[in-house]
Structure 1
Amino acid sequence: MLIRDAKDCLEQLLADVETGERNETPNPDAVLKVFQTFAAIPADDCAPMDEDGDGVLAQFGTYGLRGTQEFSVDLTRQFIEAGDDGLIWQLSCTLYWDPTPNTTALGNGSLWSFDSEFGDFFRNAALLPGWKWALGTSQVPTSLDIKLEEA
C-alpha cells in the first residue's frame, strides 16, 4: 500500500465488515479491530518503523473541532514519507457522539504505538477511559469521519 492509498484501503476494510443498514456508522469495536488489521499493512513509501516512520495514535476527548462540542474517540495512523525531507501524513478515523456529563467527565487522553508491539498497543488503547466507554456503551455514534491530511 502507498500512503496516498491508505484512506481507500481503510474505507474498504471497514465496508467489508459493515452489517445492517447501508450508511450505518460502524460500532467502535469493529473500528478498533479493523484499524488493527489496517495498521499491520505496510506502507511501502514511508520511513521504517524503527525510525518512527509509521505509528498509531489512540485518543479521546470532548472538543469543538467541528463547530460544536462533541465527544470523540480516534485512531490515527501517522506516516512519514521515506527520504530526507519526508512529509508527515495522518490518517484519522474518528467516531463522534453528542457529549454527556459522563463523557465530559472522562477528560481526554492519548497513547502512541511507538516502542510497543501492535497487539499490546491496541489492548492498551481499548483501556483508555474514552475508548473503554465507547466500547461499552449502547449509544450509537452520531458519525464516523475518515481523513488523510498532511500534518
Structure 2
Amino acid sequence: MLLGMNTKMRKSSRILLAGAVAAGLSVPALSAASAAEDATHDPAATKALYSQLYDQLQDGTVNRGDALQLGDREATLCMMGNGYGVHGLAVGPNTSCEFGSEVFAQLIDAHSPSDNIRDLTPATVNAHSPVTEQDYDMECVTGQDDLITCSGGVGAEVYLF
C-alpha cells in the first residue's frame, strides 16, 4: 500500500527536496490547534522546514530509525519516497513506524499516488496499531510549514513531509 516509499534517500529525491527549498514552496502547515482554521500559507516556514530537512538528509545515507528534527519536534524517520505529495514519513517519540504506516495508509485510502494528501486535511483517520493491537483516532492537519501532523491515541504523533 505504501508504493514508492523506501528507506534511503535517492539523489533525485535530494535534488527535488533542494529544489523545493530553493523555490520556497508553500502549502498550509502545522500551527497547533489553529491549523485547521488558519489556511494561510507561510513560504518562509516551509522553506525553513525543508532547509532543516535537507541539512539532515543531504548525505543520502538516511535509514529507517534515524533521528530527525522537524522544526522543534523530535522524530524518527520511517520511510522516504515520493507519492501522495509527500517525501517522507516520520513519527514522534511515543509512536512506532508501523503505526505511522497505518495512519498514512488510512489517510491515502481510495486516493492515487498523484493526489496531494495535503488537500485532504484536516481529517480524522482511525488506524490500528500493530504494537498495542488497538485502534486510535488520529487528527491530521497541515501546518503553515508544509508538515502534515497526525496526533491522537496515547500521545502518538505521525509526520508527513
Whichever structure has more helix as a proportion of its residues is 1
Structure ID, larger Rg: 1
The answer, yes or no, to whether TM exceeds 0.5 is no
